Amino acid sequence: MARLREGLARLARWFDQRTGVGAVGQLVQKKDVPIHRHTVWYYLGGMTLFLLLVQIGTGILLLFYYRPSAGEAYESVQFLMAEVKFGWLIRSIHGWAANLMIVTLFLHLFSVMLLKAYRPPRDLTWFSGVLLLGLALTFGFTGYLLPWNELAYFATRVGTQITEVVPLAGKFLIRVLRGGEDVSGATLTRFYAIHVALLPAATATLLGLHLWLVQKHGMSVPPGAAPPTGPRRAMPFFPNFLIRDLVGWLTALAILAALSAYFPAELGTKADPFAPAPMGIKPEWYFMFMFQTLKLLPAHILGIEGEVVGVLGFALAGLYLFLLPVIDRPTESGVSSRVFTWIAVAIIVYMVALTAIGYLVNPAQ
Ligand code: HEM
């Protein structure tokens, strides 16, 4: 046993001398997590990371069977669900983990927003986070089409149509996105390449930056959360915080398994581009608030098409979100600005209300 331990230590030394990886271990050992009344929100980033890892693992397994063409995609998923041992479970976990990840991602975003964790020097952490959110939503949008079923086909037609309202470049953008005039096998191939190559590569790069910045700056303490006098309270990241993280991750895994067993992913009928659009086309739930907004807007607002106004409004909201650390000057100088807190609350209320209206008021449309 002692010789084994000595051998392993020698191997670790050999590896460290060549890579310098020991510095990461030292960083982790030094890292601590502040304790105050908002500490619980620090678990959300790690939870999002765990769900992303589940996505990557199950996504790779799905790739062993999936075939990215209009002629074979639906059949390959059908085969996976019916014939491949535990294929249905892997596909269901991939779907449920995607949805839960979007939930924890939004909770992570709004918690760091309300706790003003975007203040410099964490502004770059925030910028990388907003881009990661964009990537996660694009993962969802492109993944939805891959099984090539009827609902996804028509939802993608409606979803891609929206790019057409972009002034000047609209026609060009929609062609690039669809790989032609309409949603077709070319769109499926494109979405597949984006989903399994482009987005994972971009996510890995940005996530690397995000996590490195979190290590570099440590966890922020929200304004007013720490006692003005006395020593700062904190717990070591390793092992105290990590063990709590692991308990959360195990719980998430149990929830994922239960959801997948009781509510397995559905497949529906195969997409038929020549069939009339079915009733009840709806996007994924996280796009519902935008879908519903565009539906409720009048045809024309001040002489401009309602949809154009809506899309421009969302583009401006996205820009506001991205630039928040630059716009919120008072918080940067250490004063917690109430205006920006109320704007964050208004955004949350708007998103929840429009999503609820989308599902409750017009469930059949
Ligand atoms: C795939 C997506 C993401 C992953 C895996 C991720 C992961 C993490 C982790 C592990 C932490 C440290 C623990 C914590 O504070 O929860 C963190 C911190 C942070 N994240 Fe994210 N994050 C993601 C997306 C986002 C988004 C969308 C935003 C906001 C726009 C964001 C902004 C931040 C900020 C500002 C911090 C520093 C918090 C502090 O110091 O108090 N992240 N992230």
Dihedral of the CA atoms 317, 320, 321, 322 (nearest 10)? 120
Give pLDDT, residue 168.
87
Q: Tokens 């308990």 correspond to what residue?
A: 247
Beta-sheet pairing, 304-305 with 32-34: unpaired
Q: Above 70 in pLDDT, residue 175?
A: yes
Give pLDDT, residue 282.
86
Q: Above 60 in pLDDT, residue 226?
A: yes
Give pLDDT, residue 291.
95
Residue 194's closest CA among 314, 62, 68?
A: 68
Ligand 1: centre distance to CA 216 (Å): 13
Ligand 1: centre distance to CA 214 (Å): 8
For residue 34, list its beta bridge partners: 234
111 lines ligand 1 (CB under 6 A): no
Give pLDDT, residue 224.
81
Closest residue by Cα to atom 12, ligand 1, is: 45
What the block records as the tokens of 189 is 């191939």
Whole-number Å distance between alpha carbons of 132 and 2 = 46
Q: Above 70 in pLDDT, residue 363?
A: no
Beta-sheet pairing, 300-301 with 234-236: unpaired
Among 210, 235, 238, 340, which is best to mutate for testing ligand 1, by the most ligand atoms less than 8 A from CB? 210
Ligand 1: centre distance to CA 175 (Å): 34
146-164, pLDDT tens digit by residue? 999 999 999 999 999 999 9
Mean of the per-residue pLDDT values for the chain? 94
82-136, pLDDT tens digit by residue? 999 999 999 999 999 999 999 999 999 999 999 999 999 999 999 999 999 999 9
Give the confidence band of 227 by pLDDT, cuts at 50, 70, 90. confident
Sequence letter at residue 25: G
Rounded to two decimals, the pTM is 0.94
Of 36 and 229, the structure prediction assigns the larger pLDDT to 36
Ligand 1: centre distance to CA 292 (Å): 28
Q: Tokens 């779907």 correspond to what residue?
A: 95
Whole-number Å distance between alpha carbons of 170 and 311 = 12
Residue 115's closest CA among 44, 28, 209, 208?
A: 44
Ligand 1: centre distance to CA 108 (Å): 6
Q: What is the DSSP letter of 149?
A: B
What the block records as the tokens of 46 is 């790690």
Give the confidence band of 361 by pLDDT, cuts at 50, 70, 90. confident
Q: Above 90 in pLDDT, residue 362?
A: no
Of 194 and 26, the structure prediction assigns the larger pLDDT to 194
Note whether 185 and 71 are within 8 A (CB): yes
Q: Above 80 in pLDDT, residue 219?
A: yes
Note whether 359 and 288 are within 8 A (CB): yes
Whole-number Å distance between alpha carbons of 362 and 121 = 45
H or E, element range at 95: helix 87-114
Give pLDDT, residue 53.
98
Among 109, 112, 115, 217, which is best to mutate for testing ligand 1, by the most ligand atoms less than 8 A from CB? 112
With a CB cutoff of 8 Å and minimum separation 6, the contacts of 245 are 43, 46, 47, 50
220 lines ligand 1 (CB under 6 A): yes
Nearest-atom index, ligand 1, CA of 218: 40
H or E, element range at 13: helix 2-19
Give pLDDT, residue 166.
87
Note whether 213 and 124 are within 8 A (CB): yes
Give pLDDT, residue 70.
96
Ligand 1: centre distance to CA 234 (Å): 19
Q: Above 90 in pLDDT, residue 331?
A: no
Helix, strand, or coil here: 119?
A: coil
What's the mean pLDDT in 212-237?
87
| % of the chain with per-residue pLDDT over 90 | 85
Closest residue by Cα to atom 43, ligand 1, is: 45
Give pLDDT, residue 329.
86
Closest residue by Cα to atom 25, ligand 1, is: 129
Whole-number Å distance between alpha carbons of 360 and 362 = 6
For residue 163, list its beta bridge partners: none
Nearest-atom index, ligand 1, CA of 321: 30
How buried is 26 (Cβ within 10 angstroms: 0-12 exposed, 13-18 middle, 19+ buried)? exposed
112 lines ligand 1 (CB under 6 A): yes
Give pLDDT, residue 364.
52
φ, ψ at 334 (rounded to 5°): 100, -5
Sequence letter at residue 212: W
45 lines ligand 1 (CB under 6 A): yes
What the block records as the tokens of 57 is 């693992």
Q: Tokens 């996504």 correspond to what residue?
A: 59
